[in-house]
Structure 1
Amino acid sequence: MSGYVKSHIDHNGVNTIEFYHPQSNSLPGKLLEELAQTIHGAGNDEDTKVIVLRSVGEKAFCAGASFDELVAIKNQEEGTQFFSGFANVLNAMRNCPQFIIVRIQGKCVGGGVGIAAAADYAIALEGSDIKLSELAVGIGPFVVGPAVERKIGTAAFENLAIDATMWRNAEWAKKKGLFSELHASVEDMDESIQRLSYNLAHSNPMAMAEMKKMFWKGTEHWDTLLHQRAVISGKLVLSQHTRSAIEKFKAKVK
């Protein structure tokens, strides 16, 4: 099974977007494209009042980039195209006029941390540890960096980006502002998501759209910036250092 992205809107206007991939909800290019398009479509849907973004399973929210696709990249054009997939998802979340609640039920790695950072409100489960592992595979968190730095600050972002093999626990992520709420059980987490999404679905959509513009002020250049960052990653992924590091990572996973 290659994974999927699907969405469902309920009678209150809560649009739930769900993604899945059998490899710890990692994101190959096809799923990145579908996820960006689905978020963009929900943002243009007048019936959508609030978006809940979630993944399937228990242990991992999102493992970031697909290693299989990273090692298959043959030239800089393919590399830039792949990393632009993450840029498109983050920009779709940023440009969407509705608030996006992200449900974090497990660990976040790399691009998964970026998606959590691009949330307008992230509700997480205890044990949802985070790691920016990009430097460990020879790349660097260039595309997700602006979103993560915006949410947790430069110092905390530097700590994550430099020590690329160290997990930070969910309490750390909550303290730094990446997670808005942290819950001890799935039931409590989902109850909080249901409560907030219901309240937002019945709030003034014009007010929420203006609030979102206010919250994201200063990011208007990201349409260009994130794609420039994708070019950097697309170049680095071709280096022998990076290819060797990715192969070692794949071997550990197996």
Structure 2
Amino acid sequence: DLLKERISVYDWLFAQAPHETVGTIRGLLGQVLFTGDDVKKSVTALSGGESARLLFARMMLEKGNVLVLDEPTNHMDLEGVEALADALQEFEGTVIVVSHDRHFVSKVATHILELTPTGARDYSGPYQEYLERFGDDYLNRDSASLHDQKPSQTQRESTQKTKSRISHQERKLQKQRINQLQRTVEQLEREIAKNEDQLQNIEENFGKEGYFQSTDPMEIKKLQVEQESVQKMLSQHLQNWEATSLELEKLL
């Protein structure tokens, strides 16, 4: 019922919190995999998984302390599940989730409450540790137990060596790049806000009663040219913001 309006994904989310900046709205949509022209898609044309991702973006926008999710990965493709898991890992509040998705639970859960025919089993720790202690993987009965899937000592050593290859200099360069990208994102958000204010002022002039009858045609033409120019700048700034934000997200 919440997604019956014939408006775009971006407009729908912005309407939930019109006080938020363009950068915040775009950032949330990017977190749940609405990028590029996806944000222009009508909410009435979204699939079940896309609708779930958009509603989750709204929940993050509301900045609640507790989220209660019942089988949130239903109807989602793998990419959507990954995006949801990543977003939940960044959520600072408490998440109570019911799920039979082993991969999803492994990524997000830090406390397990399993309901069995003989009662509840409460374990404080991630799902992988839970399996190491109790054995069977009830979220995926067709898979072998975790005891048969533990990485070997050689595999663990190989992973550790790979991590250690990142030199101090590389980490320093990466940090510098992150700082540079963060400054660029902030600057672009200021430019986007400025462009939106300019367009709003122009539209307010056009909307004044009798404006076109009482204003010199050359002045009207000048304002129309300015409007087109600002719209192009805004579009370019939004594209640059999205590309920069995606690069920054990969480094963080």
- Normalising by structure 1, we get a TM-score of 0.28
Structure with more of its chain in helix, by fraction: 2
- Normalising by structure 2, we get a TM-score of 0.28
- Rg (Cα) greater in structure: 2
Q: RCO greater where, 1 or 2, for CA within 8 Å and sep 6 or more?
A: 1
